Amino acid sequence: MIELFDVWKRFRDWVLKGVNLRIERNGLFAIVGDNGSGKTTLLRIMCGLEKPNKGFVKILGRDLRDCKRFLGVLLHENILYDELTVEENLNFYAKVYGCYSEISKDVSRRLGLDGYMDFKVKDLSFGWKKRANLVRALLNDPKIILFDEPFSGLDESAREDVREIMFDLSRDRVVVFTTPIEPDLDCEIFRLENGVVYV
């Protein structure tokens, strides 16, 4: 489902040094590593936001460009428009995807975001922006879900909600997330150290 072949990435120094990774079944997968170890870079390469200096990525056996429709990505940054309301943002992305999935509506309800639909994104706190971005990531009912540090900036109850949501999603999808600390979740762990992934 997700395959990375000999992926190298350099900014000032080499961050990734020949990463090989293969995920072949649905489930929950964590990429664990210290700050600056390259977790976010690896995730951004998986979703096509960064290009590797060497190596390549295949998602669902295809080139990345051909399978954006099947990807749901939660980045560390807020990628919703500050000037628009949460609802307007979600409608914009839903129109481009051509669908507003039931799963995203369900997650919105579970995270308590329904009460914030009329709020402009700039008026939301970091935690609520994160929730809104999470719902956005699920609008297209993705088969592959990539979350970059999904728990950061969330309070304990929201973390618990997100944990449950990720666990539910992983039953019939691939859910990959990055975290700097050992996750207290039943998941497969890929450890990223010195630019190389260890299973």
Partner 1 sequence: MFEVLIKDFRVEVRRRFEILASLSFVLISSLLIAQASLISKDIILPAFFIVIIFLAVFTSTTSFVREMDSKTIYGLKLLPIHPYKIFLEKSLFTFLLILFQGFLEMFFLAVFSSVSLFEHIPIFLIFSFYIATVSSFSSALVMYSEGRGFLIPMLIFVFTYPVLAPLLRLDTFTLILETLSVSLAMVSLSPYILED
**Residues at the contact surface with partner 1, assessed by CB under 8 A:** 47-49, 51, 68-69, 71, 73, 75, 77-84, 88, 92-93, 95-97, 120, 136, 140
Taking the complex as a whole, the smallest distance from the CB of residue 18 to partner 1 amounts, in Å, to 22
* Nearer Cβ to partner 1 (51/171): 51
Nearer to partner 1, 21 or 47 (CB): 47
φ, ψ of residue 185 to 5 degrees: the values are -135, 150
Interatomic CA distance for residues 169 and 141, integer angstroms: 10
CB of 69 to partner 1, least distance (A): 4
Tokens of 10: 């350099």
Cβ-based nearer residue to partner 1, 95 or 171:
95
Cβ contacts of 9 within 8 Å, gap of 6 or more: 15, 16, 38, 41, 45, 50, 52, 53
- CB of residue 82 to partner 1, shortest distance in Å: 6
- Shortest approach of partner 1 to residue 10 CB, angstroms? 15
Nearest to 163 by CA among 136, 185, 145: 185
Strand 54-59 vs strand 62-63: parallel, antiparallel, or unpaired? antiparallel
Residue 52 DSSP class: -
Q: Which is nearer to partner 1, 32 or 135 (CB)?
A: 135
Smallest separation, CB 85 to partner 1 (Å): 10
**Helix or strand run (H / E) with residue 127:** helix 126-137
CB of 92 to partner 1, least distance (A): 5
Q: Among residues 26 and 78, whose Cβ is nearest to partner 1? A: 78
Cβ nearer to partner 1, comparing 32 with 140 = 140
Helix (H) or strand (E) holding 130: helix 126-137
Strand partners, 175: 28, 145
For residue 82, give every residue at least 6 positions away whose Cβ sits within 8 Å of its Cβ, in sequence order, or none. Answer: 120, 121, 122
